[in-house]
Amino acid sequence: MKDRLNELFSKAEEVIGSVEKVADIEALRIKYLGKKGELTKLLRLVGELSKEERPKAGQLVNQVREKLESKMQQKMDELSAKEQDAKINAERVDVTLPGKVPEVGNLHPLTITYNGIRDIFIGMGFEVKRGPEIEYDKYNFDMLNIPKDHPARDTQDTFYITDEILLRTQTSPGQIRVMLEQKPPIRVIIPGRVYRADDVDATHSPIFNQIEGLVIDKDITMGDLKGVLDVFIKNLYGPDTKTRFRPGYFPFTEPSAEVDATCAVCKGKGCRVCKDTGWIEILGCGMVHPNVLENVGLDSSVYKGFAFGLGLDRIANIRYSIPDIRMLFENDVRFLKQFKGAL
């Protein structure tokens, strides 16, 4: 018995010494000390010994068990310390390495420009409204005083979904929708995408963006129109900017005007941007035509109003000296990344 125990002990000791992983120690514990383990088997044999031999043999088995347990524990401590060290080494973070800077995107130049314009009008008490891009012919044209045979339709050809439904050519139908929906006083801007059957070149695109404005109340005069647009343009281009109102024509306003601002680049002296005129055309505007008011059920002898419309793409391009409208739609990230910050 003693020999067998000694033999088992020295074999186990040797195996324990050669183990390299914590998990293997656990396997050894089962192999020797587990329920069906080798030492446990020897313990069972003790029962078959004579009464005199039994206590001594039992004691011996227990001694070997204790020794093995402490050897295994020792090895286990040693190995887990080693494994811990290896793990720490492998996962060590070099705090002196430059950090990974998350890529932060930026707003599109059109969005930056729109946000700036929107905030100027919100500052003057305007609300923002939106209309659908797929619009009724009647809202896009008829009710804006542009009947079927009106020549103004020629310059605004578009994609017709049916005879009555089209891709809107302007944000002006938003005026009709707002007036049908709410009673005056009305002070709104209506931004959005518009569509025209135009060929693409540096200054034309079949899809572009406009911002419409509409003010309706009793006692609105052309003085209000001039005051509001002058304040808008001075906010947009700086307090020294001058504005110029030229007579114009739009079917839904009477009188109508085109508004220029002194060129922000040369301050009116004349340069490449303003084609040496010193002026940049900013928007079209006018007093809402009585027919339009009557079309939406407003009494034109009681209510007056003014409207304006500007091309967002053009304003953004002038603002950022972008030479070609196509750059706004091509989504070249190298181009778009340049527009950090606000208007």
Closest CA to 303 of 318, 315, 292, 319: 292
Yes or no: say if 196 and 169 are a contact pair by the CB < 8 Å rule: yes
CB of 222 to ligand DAH, least distance (A): 12
Sheet of strand 186-195, all strands in order from the earlier edge strand to the far edge? 127-128, 186-195, 207-217, 304-311, 279-288, 253-262, 243-250
Contacts of 223 (CB under 8 A, 6+ apart): none
Yes or no: say if 320 and 201 are a contact pair by the CB < 8 Å rule: no
Amino acid at 33: L
Which residue of 32, 208, 250, 279 would you call a contact of ligand DAH, by CB under 6 A?
A: 250
Tokens of 315: 């304003």
From the list 86-94, 199-207, 238-246, 303-311, the region that binds ligand DAH by CB under 6 A is: 303-311
Burial of 71 (0-12, 13-18, 19+ CB in 10 A): middle
CB of 189 to ligand DAH, least distance (A): 11
Tokens of 173: 């139908």
CB of 223 to ligand DAH, least distance (A): 16
DSSP state letter for 163: S
- Judged by CB, which is closer to ligand DAH: 11, or 150? 150
Could you say whether residue 308 binds ligand DAH (CB under 6 A)?
yes
- Judged by CB, which is closer to ligand DAH: 39, or 178? 178
From the list 76-84, 103-111, 130-138, 304-312, the region that binds ligand DAH by CB under 6 A is: 304-312
Amino acid at 342: A
CB of 256 to ligand DAH, least distance (A): 6
Number of residues that bind ligand DAH (CB under 6 A): 11
CB of 342 to ligand DAH, least distance (A): 26
CB of 255 to ligand DAH, least distance (A): 10
Which residue of 139, 166, 309, 315 would you call a contact of ligand DAH, by CB under 6 A?
A: 309
Question: Strands 127-128, 186-195: parallel, antiparallel or unpaired by DSSP?
Answer: parallel
Per CB under 6 A, contacts with ligand DAH among 75-134 are none
- Judged by CB, which is closer to ligand DAH: 42, or 310? 310
Tokens of 89: 């080494």
From the list 11-19, 101-109, 217-225, 301-309, the region that binds ligand DAH by CB under 6 A is: 301-309
Could you say whether residue 253 binds ligand DAH (CB under 6 A)?
yes
Contact string 33-62 vs ligand DAH (x = CB under 6 A): ------------------------------
DSSP state letter for 229: H
Per CB under 6 A, contacts with ligand DAH among 150-209 are 170, 172
> Distance (Å, rounded) from C-alpha 343 to C-alpha 160?
36
Closest CA to 191 of 296, 107, 120: 120
CB of 298 to ligand DAH, least distance (A): 16
Could you say whether residue 237 binds ligand DAH (CB under 6 A)?
no
- Judged by CB, which is closer to ligand DAH: 39, or 285? 285
Backbone angles phi and psi of 293, in degrees to 5? -60, -45
Distance from the Cα of residue 337 to its chain's centroid: 14
- Judged by CB, which is closer to ligand DAH: 257, or 274? 257
Which residue of 129, 176, 208, 212 would you call a contact of ligand DAH, by CB under 6 A?
A: 212
Residue 214 host element (H or E): strand 207-217
> Distance (Å, rounded) from C-alpha 192 to C-alpha 175?
13
> Distance (Å, rounded) from C-alpha 223 to C-alpha 239?
19
Contact string 275-294 vs ligand DAH (x = CB under 6 A): ---------xxx--------
Nearest residue to ligand DAH, by Cβ distance, number only: 309
- Contact positions vs ligand DAH (CB under 6 A): 170, 172, 212, 250, 253, 284-286, 307-309
